[in-house]
Structure 1
Amino acid sequence: MLRAENHRGLRTPMPFSLPIHQADWLPFLAAAFTVLIGLAALFAPRLLLAVLRLDTAPAHPEAVAEVRGTLAGFWLGTGLVTLLFYDQPFVQMALGAAWAFTGFGRLASILSDAGATVPNWLLLALNLLLAAMCLAPVFGYVS
């Protein structure tokens, strides 16, 4: 549990509060979405792979561990920290940069790997939207 010192120097639990302003809601909602897809990757990795139009090779069932570990772990970790500290600019930048570079990787694939499909373009738009939701408040585009 998060702790803070009160006026007497005693350590007390920090209260969790929901955002009030639009500049706080944007990264909070991006974080909540990130946590949701992280949970899907953790508890339903094959379903997530199907949604992303991917499949594992029958000879390598351990590939599902990559979805549970790498994808779910990263999405849950960054998403949960951003949910807890949604009003901290460095936390917003971390999640925003993660989604921006995810979009950059997807764009590189679209341009280099003949991946210019409708689902890839839609996922690129989603990646950039999530990045913008986190980065817009940091750079003062939303007050």
Structure 2
Amino acid sequence: MGYAFPWPTSQGEWLAWSSAVVTLLMGLLLFLAPGLAFRILRLQVKPEKAAAIAEGRGRMAGFYLGVSLCCLLLGPQLFLYMALGFSWLFTAFGRLLSMMSDGANTPFNWASIVVELALAALPLAFAFGFVL
């Protein structure tokens, strides 16, 4: 039995696939260059807390890589894309809560929430049949 890379065939699949690719690229950046990724995300690691880099590589990159690779390698399975979309949706919701309660109402956070909502909408639109 051979394995073929499941290439997207419809517009909806392409949109969901694109969200998975962006998530994969973000995961690779966090995994391979966490210092650069932290600077982009405006996070700073204290020298006495070098284990924070492990959080970026492990917890953050591991999640991004795991979910996105499942979406990309296992084909257009709606539940996988639903998991990707809801993960990005809750990321945006968490950022919104932080903006409202933690005083993190900055232009960077507004731009980030727009990107996160777009990355959530693409796979969810495909998973729920809004785009075929």
Shift of 1:111: 0.6
SS of 1:54's equivalent?
coil
In the TM superposition, what is the alpha-carbon distance from 1:29 to its structure 2 partner? Answer: 0.6
- What fraction of aligned residue pairs are identical, expressed as a percent? 44
Q: Which runs of 4+ in 1 moved over 3 A?
A: none
Q: What is residue 43 of structure 1 aligned with on the other side?
A: 32
Give the 3-state SS of the residue equivalent to 2:47 in structure 1: coil
Superposed, 1:1-143 pairs within 5 Å as: 12-143=1-132
Query: Could you tell me whether the CA contact under 8 Å between 2:7 and 2:75 is conserved in 1?
Result: no
Q: Deviations over 1:33-89 (max 9, x none)?
A: 101010000010010000011101111111100000001100000010011134111
Tell me which protein shows more helix as a share of its residues. 2
Note closer, same or farther for the CA distance 1:28–1:86 as it changes in structure 2 (3 Å cut). farther
1:86-114: CA deviations, max 9, x gaps?
A: 41110010100110000010000011111
Instruction: Return 5+ residue gaps in structure 1 as ranges.
Output: 1-11
Q: Assess if the C-alpha contact under 8 Å between 1:96 and 1:131 holds in 2.
A: yes
TM-score (norm 2): 0.96
Number of aligned residue pairs? 132
* Runs (5+) with no aligned partner, structure 2: none
* Greater fraction of residues in strand: 1
Q: CA contact under 8 A between 1:27 and 1:86: conserved in structure 2?
A: no
Moved more, 36-45 or 16-25: 16-25
Return the letter of the residue paired with 2:19: A
Instruction: Tell me which amino acid in the other structure corresponds to 2:85.
Output: G
Q: Alpha-carbon deviation of 1:17? A: 3.0
Q: TM-score w.r.t. structure 1 length?
A: 0.89
Q: Rg: which structure is higher?
A: 1
